[in-house]
Amino acid sequence: MSRKNAGKNSPDSISQIAALILMALGTLFSVLGLLGYVLDLPMKAGEARGSLPMGLVILAVGGACDLWARSKKAARIRLLTEGQPVPGEILEIRRHIFITWNENDWINFPGKNSPWSVSCRYTWEGREYTVQSPLIWREPVRSGPVTVYLDAKKPRRAAVDPDSVATVL
C-alpha cells in the first residue's frame, strides 16, 4: 500500500473487494445453515440447513479470490522492491464510481469515497508497454513522469509505484 494511503485500511484491488464481499456472504450463509441443524429455523422456501452448501461454495470462491489477490499483491511488491525502475507517463486516469469504501461517514454520496486508477505507458528496449496501477484513494493528476518498476527478463511484468503518482491534496 502506498505511503499516501498508509492511514487507510483500504483495499488496493477490485479482487480484494470481491474476496471480502464473497467471504462475508459465504460466512453468513454457512452460519445460517449450521444454525439450521441446531435450531428449527423456519424458512419460506425450505429448511435453513439448505444454506450450508451454498455458503461453503461462496466461501470457497471468496477464498480463491483472496488467494489470487494476495498473489498479485505479492508480485507487485516484489517488482517494487526488486524491479528495474523506468519512467512512465500517464495515459488515462479512471475513477471507479461504483466502488465505495466508507471509513468515516455513515452517509455516503456516489463517488465520494471512490478510488482511482491510472493506466501508464513505459518503454523498455525500444518497445512500448502499458500497465495499470493499483487502486489509488486520492485523485491523481497528470504532472510529470511516474515510476514504473519492471522485470527486466519479462518487461510485460510491471508495477506502477503509487508514491510516484501525483495526487490532489
Cell numbers placing 119? 493506466
Cα dihedral 164, 145, 12, 61, rounded to 10, equals -140
pLDDT confidence of residue 1: 41
Q: What is the pLDDT of residues 110-167, one digit of tens each?
A: 657 789 999 999 999 999 999 999 999 888 988 888 999 999 999 999 999 999 988 8
| pLDDT band for position 2 (cuts 50, 70, 90) | very low
39-50 pLDDT, tens digit per residue, is 877 776 777 777
CB-CB contact of 63 with 23 (8 Å): yes
Determine the Cα–Cα distance for residues 29 and 60; give it in Å rounded to an integer: 12
Q: Residue written as cell 444454506?
A: 51
Cell of 50: 439448505
The predicted pLDDT at position 3 comes to 40
User: Whole-angstrom Cα distance, residue 29 to residue 53?
Assistant: 9
Residue 76 is predicted with a pLDDT of 94
Question: Which pLDDT value is given to residue 142?
Answer: 84
Write the pLDDT tens digit of every residue in 49-94: 778 889 999 999 999 999 999 999 999 999 999 999 999 999 999 9
For the stretch 112-123, what's the b/e string if a residue is b when 16 or more beta carbons lie within 10 angstroms of its beta carbon?
Answer: ebbbbbbebebe
pTM: 0.78
